Structure 1
């Protein structure tokens, strides 16, 4: 069997949806068929320890500065010039078979790299922004045709890149996947003991990077009303990010610091989910959020906004409740309703768990990506042989 050289390109292996998908994909892709290397712009890669020994990581600079779980800056802006040049030189020298990227900056670098070698270039779209700078839109449109294939993790993402100028036949949808059994069977974390909560407390939780677009401020603004109707309710934020200090200040302003808890980045997310009673995810825009798949796998009733990828995952009143974007009043209403209607909450959680196990596994995700590789790369390879 001929081994295909597969290079993945991403900024850094930090905690995030695209990064989590890449780790699982790189570990589970058929290593008898694919020789896998992950290229990162920065050498600050906390998730690297989770990779299989068969996966090589090569970093382009040491300039990244990690704060609150994300790359918050660089020691020198020159890194953003040197990193692409070093990658393009490596591409020119080593001529990999496939280059795949996931996010905007990596997409542009990978598309240009494809001009320097014979590699098949596969780029990605992970979310559909509610606004986009003009310069970014123009760069995306100008370079879009340099992609041999494009993978979106949601149907909304597919339509987004088609509107940007991509050929519909070049765009595939591959849903994110998770290790469903891990989330389904995890023993609940002792979060009540850890936070000194009463045994009867209702734990509402959310998992994800602390970014404004995730709707965490809306959830906090809903909390005083929720606390009035559910006196024993506690809100748990799992994850870190640039908005942590701002969210902590908002909790103080609202007078609810005693019932709002920030746990930061955790390695026991499956156990934490199984200790929650309800999951909230009021994002302003999304791709296909792995955090929601994880909550589904754990059988939690979910309150979410019906944006893009969320709508691919959840069916309203069947596997979750939808609320409008930036609507604390509706978040409060849905949360209170689920607490007061345990039969509804249990039904939504069970249906969500069944769908996660059926459609959003790592195996199905890897199968989807490998199908794209065969469809996009192999015809191109054959064409180069006979040309």
Structure 2
């Protein structure tokens, strides 16, 4: 059995973490076992911790490199020296080269760089650009395998190096089984049955751009008063977003639901899924929304590979809020499953990753 150490940073309900858990559930655990490295800042974010332990995985907590890089280097180096890992699988975008460098110097032969985003979200000043170049060099020279969730995600991080596309696998069956009643869920959330509902799922952080979405919704509600917005996720901007909701006077029509484990149910009560992120690789929630049969309106900063069904619209963040509203309100509010979406089933992804994990180094 091969043990795979995932450099993840945290194991909350984010897209990259949820993808890895989908993969973990489906992969042959007689042949592969997953362990996860997280930062001490997020040790109490334990959405998946119990399940990981039940599946046979371990969770290792180390210092956050943003706060104490020397302590991080010491702790990770000691971990890799003391424990036996066959594969290092890095999902950290900015600074992942450090992880793979440490893995190489500790004798781990297979070292995977996995890009989940189209940019790192850091500033573009001179110091950061120099650091970015150094970290990119570390990544490109210490990885043995290069994986990406989309073409844009791979091209941005790997700078001309060849890479493989590995789909953000989801369990399509979760969205096919209508084991819940749309009416019951709306009643539970205090939303009228005939209301128009748009939704967004993501961490409450700058990248996800929920402040912009609130402005869009404030414009929408002027035209369609029976509209409601679901914000699903948690993050450091929660208080700011709550204040903005009050300032816009839309608190009666916004539901901030925090992190949830009933995503298929919540998607089922939406009419349109809206995502104005500043950047994304290939967001798993976009696939989930399409699997649920929803129309999608996405910022054009999001990877075009996200569109695997017909009713997905991309719009510029430079457009007016009214233009966003026009796109959101345009019929139809349904979407159909396609063969391309079927290829994102996690069973396919698990088979693909098993082959990559088993691939002989001589074939690389």
Return the TM-score normalized by structure 2. 0.87
Following superposition of structure 1 onto structure 2, how do residues 162-173 of structure 1 map, counting pairs within 5 Å? Answer: 162-163=158-159, 167-168=161-162, 171-173=163-165
Equivalent of residue 278 in structure 2, options 281, 284, 287: 284
Structure-1 separation of matches of 2:315 and 2:25:
36
Measured after TM superposition, the shift of residue 175 of structure 1 is 1.2
Conserved? CA contact 1:60–1:86, under 8 Å? no
Structure-2 separation of matches of 1:248 and 1:93:
46
Equivalent of residue 316 in structure 2, options 324, 335, 348: 324
Conserved? CA contact 2:23–2:169, under 8 Å? no
Measured after TM superposition, the shift of residue 313 of structure 1 is 2.0
**Secondary structure at 1:60's aligned position in 2?**
strand
Measured after TM superposition, the shift of residue 357 of structure 1 is 4.5
Equivalent of residue 141 in structure 1, options 136, 141, 147: 136
Structure-2 separation of matches of 1:210 and 1:379:
40
Conserved? CA contact 2:175–2:291, under 8 Å? yes
Aligned residues: 351
**Secondary structure at 2:71's aligned position in 1?**
helix
- Partner residue in 2 for 1:312: 305
- Partner residue in 1 for 2:146: 150
Asked if 1:114 is matched to 2:104, the reply is: yes
Change (3 A) 1:125 1:136: farther
Equivalent of residue 90 in structure 2, options 98, 101, 113: 101
Conserved? CA contact 2:198–2:271, under 8 Å? yes
Change (3 A) 1:356 1:179: farther
Change (3 A) 1:193 1:326: farther
Conserved? CA contact 1:236–1:260, under 8 Å? yes
Once the two structures are superposed, residues 110-158 of structure 1 have per-residue CA deviations (whole angstroms, 9 ceiling, x without a partner) of 3322122143111221101275431441232220211111211111012
Change (3 A) 1:272 1:118: closer
- Partner residue in 1 for 2:349: 365
Asked if 1:261 is matched to 2:248, the reply is: no
- Partner residue in 1 for 2:244: 250
Structure-1 separation of matches of 2:244 and 2:71:
40
Conserved? CA contact 1:297–1:356, under 8 Å? no
Measured after TM superposition, the shift of residue 334 of structure 1 is 0.8
Measured after TM superposition, the shift of residue 319 of structure 1 is 2.5
Conserved? CA contact 1:176–1:360, under 8 Å? yes
Change (3 A) 1:192 1:54: closer
Change (3 A) 1:100 1:131: closer
Conserved? CA contact 2:277–2:302, under 8 Å? no
CA RMSD of aligned residues (A): 2.5
Structure-1 separation of matches of 2:186 and 2:161:
51
Conserved? CA contact 2:97–2:136, under 8 Å? no
Equivalent of residue 354 in structure 1, options 329, 338, 358: 338
- Partner residue in 2 for 1:379: 361
Once the two structures are superposed, residues 307-327 of structure 1 have per-residue CA deviations (whole angstroms, 9 ceiling, x without a partner) of 343x102169x2212211253
Change (3 A) 1:52 1:323: same
Equivalent of residue 200 in structure 2, options 178, 190, 206: 206
Once the two structures are superposed, residues 155-193 of structure 1 have per-residue CA deviations (whole angstroms, 9 ceiling, x without a partner) of 101211332xx632xx21101011111122242453422
Change (3 A) 1:299 1:356: farther
Equivalent of residue 19 in structure 2, options 21, 39, 44: 21
Change (3 A) 1:36 1:219: closer
Conserved? CA contact 1:188–1:273, under 8 Å? no
Change (3 A) 1:16 1:136: farther
Measured after TM superposition, the shift of residue 273 of structure 1 is 0.6
**Secondary structure at 1:46's aligned position in 2?**
coil
Return the TM-score normalized by structure 1. 0.83
Asked if 1:160 is matched to 2:161, the reply is: no
Which segments of 5 or more consecutive residues in structure 1 lack a partner in the other structure? 65-72
Structure-1 separation of matches of 2:246 and 2:237:
14
- Partner residue in 2 for 1:336: 329
Change (3 A) 1:84 1:46: farther
Conserved? CA contact 1:205–1:237, under 8 Å? yes
Measured after TM superposition, the shift of residue 379 of structure 1 is 2.7
